[in-house]
Structure 1
Amino acid sequence: MNPKAITFDYFGTLVDVDHGGTLGMAEVLRRISVEAHEPVSQVYLDWDIRNVRLYRGQAYARYRDVAQQALADCLDTHCPGARKGHAMETLTDLFLSHLVEASPAHTDAEPFLDWAASRYPLMPITNMDSDLWRRTRLTRYFEHVTTAEMAQAYKPSQAIFALALDRLAVDAHDVLHCSLASWADIDGAKPLGMAVAWINRTRDTLGTWQPRPDFEFDTLSPVRDVLEGLSLTATGETI
């Protein structure tokens, strides 16, 4: 393997989406005058689970619309009746604004992107609406992105990965995909022939029947070592 392009899961892999999402949920609860009886991070996690279940379990719908339905269901469970009199579109905009704009880069992300940007084409492949992704913090590193909205499909559907490969004009076996989310990205990318570096920040375990990644690391930093080693091997140099 000698990658000619690097693709990424964006939310979670490059930025701390749980931080931004928790801030967003806290703002929503303040707006509807609710004091949570459990950590706000747990309410956010409940929304996240509902959101993923919805977009994986139905025909394609915009991320914003799926997120709104998941938010309504989450609020009705944790604080019944509290959203009465509040427009769900407004609450969803408040929540998503924090999720996409207030999710900070992981400490290893920018150093890695600074190194990789001059060496490889870089592209996020994200389960997000295009306009929301454009409001995130690291867009300056990427000339192109492939979103679920563009593909009309969510990861792990091969449709979104195939569209990304087509837009990059690179064969699958010439791409290294870096991702935190095993179910979305290992399961989606490996069957197409893409190599995958699993950035296992949370020390998760893979399911029995899941395909295995080509590499597994706690952060992005070791991916640079892999790529430098592969480059030296390809040029016939010794390490």
Structure 2
Amino acid sequence: MQIKAITFDYFGTLVDVDRGGIRGMQAVLDATGIDTPRTAAELYLDWDVINVQTYRGGKFRRYREVSTIALAHCLERLEPGVTRRVDIDQLADMLLGHLVEDSPPHTDAVAALEWMSKTYPLMPITNMDSDLWQRSALVDYFEHVTTAEMARAYKPSEAIFKLAIDRLAVAPENILHCSLASWADIDGAKPLGMNVAWINRGGESLGPWQPRPDFEFPTLAGVQAVLSPS
């Protein structure tokens, strides 16, 4: 394996997206005054599921639009008719702002990026919009990014991975893709010939029909060890 470039999933792999998302959902609940026994953490996970179902279930729409639709569904479940009394676009901006700005980097991710950036071209492949990416915590580590908005497709579509490969101008067999999200990234990258390191932070299991990654590690420190064997 001769690696010449490294690509990454962003949310979850490099940053703790749940922390930012929960803060965002709490801000939404505070702004709406909705009375519910459900926690911001529970509602954030509901939103995340609906969000993914929405962008995978139809023609391409920007992440901001999809996220707004998903948030409206979540809030309507709590209080039918609530979207008639609130500014749903403003609330979605609030949620996404926290999601991208308040998701703290994983300690191992910062250490890995510091080390990798000295040797390899690095690029995130992310499902967020390009303007949201520019507000994210680790943007300064990357000269280039490939977003769903650029490709007009969401992972695991081959379109976004092909665009990233073309923009790197590196053969897929010489790219190592690192990701927490197995269904989005292993399923998308492996059929194109990319090497994949599954960063299995939660000790999850792969489905029986999924392709297997080339590597599996609990953190990005494992990737660094593979690239610099003793």
- Shorter-chain-normalised TM-score: which range? over 0.9
Partner SS, residue 177 of structure 2: strand
* 1:48 alignment partner AA: D
**Counterpart amino acid of residue 84 in structure 1:** R
In 1, distance between residues paired with 2:132 and 2:80?
29
Give the Cα–Cα distance (whole angstroms) in 2 for the partners of residues 211 and 83 of structure 1: 41
Further displaced range: 177-186 or 32-41: 32-41
> 2 CA distance for matches of 1:35 and 1:110?
39
2:34–2:78 contact (8 Å) kept in structure 1 = no
C-alpha contact (below 8 Å) 1:187/1:210 kept by paired residues: yes
Alignment partner of 1:54 is 2:54: yes
Deviation at 1:202, TM superposition (A): 1.1
Rounded Cα–Cα distance in structure 2 between residues aligned with 1:39 and 1:213 = 35
CA-to-aligned-CA distance 1:186-214 (integer Å, 9 cap, x gap): 00000000000000011111110000000
SS across alignment from 1:6: strand
What is the correspondence of 1:156-195 to structure 2 with a 5 Å cutoff?
Answer: 156-195=156-195
Q: What CA RMSD, in Å, does the superposition of the two structures yield over aligned residues?
A: 0.9
Question: Which structure 1 residue ranges, 5 or more long, are not aligned?
Answer: 230-238
- The answer for the alignment partner of 2:211 in structure 1 is 211
Residues 153 and 160 in structure 1, CA contact (< 8 A), matched pair in contact too = yes
Compute the TM-score of the two structures, normalised by the length of structure 1: 0.94
2: CA distance, partners of 1:217 / 1:79 = 42
Runs of 4+ in 1 over 4 A off after TM superposition: none
Amino acid at match of 2:168: L
Deviations 1:9-46 (A, max 9, x none): 00110001111010000000000012431221110000
- Aligned 1:110-149 pairs, distance under 5 A: 110-149=110-149
Give the Cα–Cα distance (whole angstroms) in 2 for the partners of residues 48 and 60 of structure 1. Answer: 17
Paired residue for 1:44?
44
Q: How far does residue 82 in structure 1 lie from its aligned partner after superposition?
A: 3.4
Q: Is the CA contact 1:6–1:175 (under 8 Å) kept in the aligned structure 2? A: yes
Among all aligned residue pairs of Structure 1 and Structure 2, give the percentage whose two residues are the same amino acid: 61
> Number of residue pairs matched?
230
Describe the superposition over 1:113-155 as per-residue Cα deviations: whole angstroms up to 9, x where unpaired: 0000111000000001000011000001000000000000000
Higher mean C-alpha displacement, 209-218 vs 79-88: 79-88
8 Å contact kept, 1:43–1:78: no
Q: Give the aligned partner of residue 86 of structure 1.
A: 86
Kept in 2, the 8 Å contact 1:32–1:83? The answer is no
Once residues 196 and 228 of structure 2 are traced to their aligned partners in structure 1, the CA distance between those partners, rounded to angstroms, is 16
User: Structure 1 residues 80-89 or 91-100, which shifts more?
Assistant: 80-89
Amino acid at match of 1:215: F
Paired AA for residue 6 in structure 2:
I
